[in-house]
Amino acid sequence: MDNVKARIEQLTKDINYHNYKYYVDDSPEISDFEFDKMLKELEELEEKYPEYKSPTSPTVRVGGMAASTFEPVIHTVQMQSLQKAFSKGEILDFDRRVRSVIPNAKYVVEHKIDGLSVSLEYVDGKFRRGSTRGDGITGEDVTENLKTIRSIPLELKDKIPFLEVRGEVFLSRDNFNKINQSLEALDEPLFANPRNAAAGSLRQLDPKIAASRGLDIFVFNIQQIEGVTINSHIEGLAFLKEQGFKTILNDRLFDTAQEAFDEIMRIGEERGNLYFDIDGAVIKVNNFSDREILGVTEKFPRWAIAYKYPAEQKETKLLDIKIQVGRTGVLTPLAILETVHIAGTNVSRATLHNIDYIRDKDIRIGDSVIIEKAGDIIPAVVEVVKDKRTGNETEFKMPDVCPECGAKVVRIEGEAASRCTGINCPAQRFRNIVHFVSRPAMDIDGLGPSIIEQMLSLKLIENASDLYYIKAEDIEKMDKMGKKSAQNLINNLEKSKTNPLYRLINALGIRLIGEKAAKTLSKRYKTLDNLITADVEELTQIPEVGEKMAKSINEFFTQQQNLDFIKRLTDAGVNCVDDSEDSAIDDRFKDKVFVLTGTLKNYKRSEAGKIIESYGGKTSSSVSKKTDYVLAGAEAGSKLDKANALGVRVITEEEFEEMIK
C-alpha cells in the first residue's frame, strides 16, 4: 500500500510539473502522449485506491459533478473596478493627482486582459475556493469550474497560510474560434467575442463543459496574504510566478507619466499580434505603502487607472465583394479590400454581414470605405466615403444560386440571412452530417464530430448518405478505431436503417423542421415520397405547419441534389415509410396543449411529453392563451409566471400522475 501511495504522490508531482511547463511556461518537456499516459495511470490508481486521492489531484481538471446553482461569496477585500482614461490628458491628470500626495511615485504598466475577473483563495498552499467578481462585493462560487483551468495551480510551491489573488479568466483567440466552429456545426448561437465565451464557459453548471472550453488565466494582483511580506507590485508578481501562477510579468519601472504613456502606446501597437484579447493597458503605482497612502474611493483605487484603446479606423478601397458560405448554409458577403495595416495586423478582407447591411450603408464595389477592427478581432466596414465616388462604382446583388454547389438560395421572410438549400453543399457538409447522425435524428451511436472529420479528411465520405456504403475495413484504418470499434459502428449504421420515418425527416435538416414537426409530417404523409410531392398549399392545411415551414419544405424537395441524396438512402435500405398505427392509448388529452417547465422528480420532460402524446395530447415550448395545462416541476421559471398571469391551469407532478392513471 505504501508503494501505491508513493506512486500516486510521484505521479501527481510529475504531472503538476509538466502541466506548469506546458500551460504557464509554454515550454513542454515531454510529448502529449507521455503526459496522457501518466495522467491515465494516475486516474486508474485513484479509482482503485480512492483513499489516496488528493482534493488537489490533477485529475480533477476534467470536471466533476454538475451543480444545481452557484453559491454566493462575499469578498472580504472588495474587487473594485478601475477608473478609465481615453486620452493622454486624462493620464496626465491622474499623474498630477498621484504626485500631489506621492511626489516620487513610480509606475508599472500591464496589459488589461479582456476577460472575466475572479478571486482565487489558498489555505496552507492548497486551492480552497474560487469566485467571480460579481458586483465587487458579492460574487459566485465557481471553484469546480476554475479547477479545470490548467494554468491555475491547485497547490502552491510553499505552504502559505492564506493567499487570495485576483486574475482574469480568458479564452485564446484560437480556442474562441474552435468553440464557435463547433457551435456553428450544431447550428447553435455563436459567442459574440472571446470575453463572452469565457464568461459563459466559467458559469456553466457542469464543470465538464468548462473543462472542454480550454479556458486560461493571468493572475495580476495579491488581494490578501499571510505569512509573507510583499512590498511592491513587481515583487508580488515575481513571487506569484515562483508559486506557480501565470502572470504577465513586466518588471520595468516608469518614473514619469510620459514614460508610462509611451509604454501604453507600445502595447497598443502589439495587441493585434497577441494570442489573447486586451481592451487597454493599466498604470499602477508600484509601491504598496504608497498605495495605502493614496487609498481608494467607493468604486475604484486612487493608485491605478486603465487606458482604453479606441477602435482604430483606416480608409481603404473596396475592390470586390465575394460570397462565403458558412457551415450552416448562410451566405455572407465578404469585402475584398486593398490591404491596410490596422490594430497591428494587415487587413485585406472584412465582413459585410448580409444584404441589408450593404443596402443600409449603400456600400458599392469600388467605394472608398472606412474599416475598423470590431473588438480588435473582426474587421468591419463602418462607413462609405461618398465624397470620393467617381460614378464607376457598382451595386452588389446576392446570388440566386449557391457559389459552392449551385443549389437555390432562399431568404425566409423576416430573416436577414440568405441560405443555400443544398444538402450536398461542400461548405456545410460537416454540419449536415453531424446533424444527420445526432440523437434526435438518425441516432447513430459512435459517430461523433471527430470521427466525422476524419472520414471527410480521408475522403471516406462526401455526405451523410455515404455512411451506409462505408466498409468496416476502411473504418479500421482510422485513428483510434480498431476492428471491434469498426464493426460496432457498422452495426449501429445498419440498425439505424430501421428507424421510424420521422427520424429521417428530421435528419434531412430541412430549415425550420425539427423533431416535433417531423413527427407531424410522418404521421400525416406516411411515406417520404408523399411528402416530397406535397405542395405549399397542401402543407399549410396541416395546423402545425405554417407558411414559412411549408415553403421551406417545398424548396428543399425541389433541389435535385437533395432528391439524389434521398435516393442514395433508399437504395441503401433506409426506411422511408411510417407503418406505425396511431400510438395514442386513448384520447383523454385530445386537443389539449401542455407546457412542461422545471425539474420533475420521476420523469424527464421528454418522457412526460411522450406520455402526453400517447393520450392524444400535444406539447408546446411556450405558454399562451391556447395552453390548457402547465406541468410545473421544481425551479419552474418564467413559464410558470406567464401561466399564472394568463390564468392557465398549473398542475403538479402528483396531479399529472393522477390524470394518467
- Domains located in the chain, CATH noted: 2-59 (1.10.287.610), 80-308 (3.30.470.30), 313-388 (2.40.50.140), 420-571 (1.10.150.20), 593-659 (3.40.50.10190)
The residues, any chain, with a CB within 8 Å of residue 282's CB and separated by 6 or more, are 82, 109, 110, 111, 112, 304, 305, 306, 307
Query: pTM score, two decimals?
Result: 0.59
Tell which residue, 292, 311, 312, has the closest CA to residue 303: 292
Most confident of 59-73, 299-313, 363-377, 495-509: 495-509
Please give the pLDDT value at position 124: 95
At position 500, the amino acid (one-letter code) is P
Q: Given the DSSP bridges, would you call strands 418-420 and 330-342 parallel, antiparallel or unpaired?
A: antiparallel
Please give the pLDDT value at position 23: 63
Q: Read off the C-alpha cell for 178.
A: 474552435
Strand, coil or helix: 252: coil
Task: Tell whether the model's pLDDT for residue 594 goes beyond 70.
Answer: yes
Please give the pLDDT value at position 79: 92
Cβ–Cβ under 8 Å, residues 272 and 376: yes
- Number of Cβ within 10 Å of residue 346's Cβ equals 9
Task: Classify residue 317 as exposed, middle or buried by CB count within 10 Å of its CB (0-12, 13-18, 19+).
Answer: middle
- The residue annotated as part of the active site, out of 106, 112, 147, 516, is 112
Mean pLDDT computed over 306-313: 85
Mean pLDDT computed over 192-202: 84
Most confident of 48-52, 176-180, 233-237: 233-237
At position 427, the amino acid (one-letter code) is A
Mean pLDDT, rounded, of the chain:
88
pLDDT band at 176 (very low <50, low <70, confident <90, very high): confident
Most confident of 37-41, 178-182, 283-287: 283-287
Task: Tell whether the model's pLDDT for residue 26 goes beyond 70.
Answer: no
Q: Read off the C-alpha cell for 81.
A: 473596478
Strand, coil or helix: 92: helix
Please give the pLDDT value at position 523: 87
Please give the pLDDT value at position 3: 84
Please give the pLDDT value at position 422: 86
* Rg, C-alpha atoms of the chain: 30
Please give the pLDDT value at position 62: 65
- Number of Cβ within 10 Å of residue 325's Cβ equals 21
More confident: 595 or 30 = 595
Residue whose cell numbers read 519601472:
253
Please give the pLDDT value at position 128: 94
**Per-residue pLDDT tens digits for 142-160:** 999 999 999 999 999 999 9
Put residue 395 in one of left, alpha, beta given phi > 0 → left and psi -120 to 50 → alpha: beta
**Per-residue pLDDT tens digits for 363-406:** 999 999 999 875 545 688 989 999 999 999 999 999 999 998 99
Task: Tell whether the model's pLDDT for residue 282 goes beyond 90.
Answer: yes
Please give the pLDDT value at position 521: 93
pLDDT band at 65 (very low <50, low <70, confident <90, very high): low
Please give the pLDDT value at position 224: 95
CA trace torsion 402, 405, 408, 413 (10° rounding): -50
C-alpha span between 137 and 634 (Å, rounded):
30
Q: How far is CA 353 from CA 42, 77, 359, 362, in A?
A: 49, 44, 11, 13
C-alpha span between 126 and 161 (Å, rounded):
9
Task: Tell whether the model's pLDDT for residue 28 goes beyond 90.
Answer: no
Please give the pLDDT value at position 48: 82
Cβ–Cβ under 8 Å, residues 139 and 75: yes
Cβ–Cβ under 8 Å, residues 185 and 230: no
Cβ–Cβ under 8 Å, residues 140 and 294: no
Residue 309 per-residue DSSP state? P
Candidate from 20-29, 347-356, 518-527 with smallest mean pLDDT: 20-29
pLDDT cut 70: percent of the chain above it = 94
Cβ–Cβ under 8 Å, residues 357 and 396: no
**Per-residue pLDDT tens digits for 474-517:** 998 888 788 888 999 999 999 999 999 999 999 999 988 988 89
Please give the pLDDT value at position 312: 76
Please give the pLDDT value at position 171: 92
Please give the pLDDT value at position 67: 56
Task: Tell whether the model's pLDDT for residue 320 goes beyond 80.
Answer: yes
Cβ–Cβ under 8 Å, residues 513 and 497: no
Task: Tell whether the model's pLDDT for residue 70 goes beyond 70.
Answer: yes
Please give the pLDDT value at position 584: 55
Task: Tell whether the model's pLDDT for residue 95 goes beyond 70.
Answer: yes
Q: How far is CA 274 from CA 7, 213, 531, in A?
A: 40, 19, 53
Please give the pLDDT value at position 134: 87
Mean pLDDT computed over 630-655: 89
- Number of Cβ within 10 Å of residue 568's Cβ equals 17
Overall residue count recorded for the chain in this entry: 661
Please give the pLDDT value at position 609: 84
Is residue 157 among the annotated active site residues?
no
Task: Tell whether the model's pLDDT for residue 231 goes beyond 70.
Answer: yes
The counts of H helices and E strands in the chain are: 24, 21
Q: Read off the C-alpha cell for 185.
A: 456545426
C-alpha span between 640 and 629 (Å, rounded):
11
Candidate from 403-412, 564-573, 616-625, 642-651 with smallest mean pLDDT: 616-625
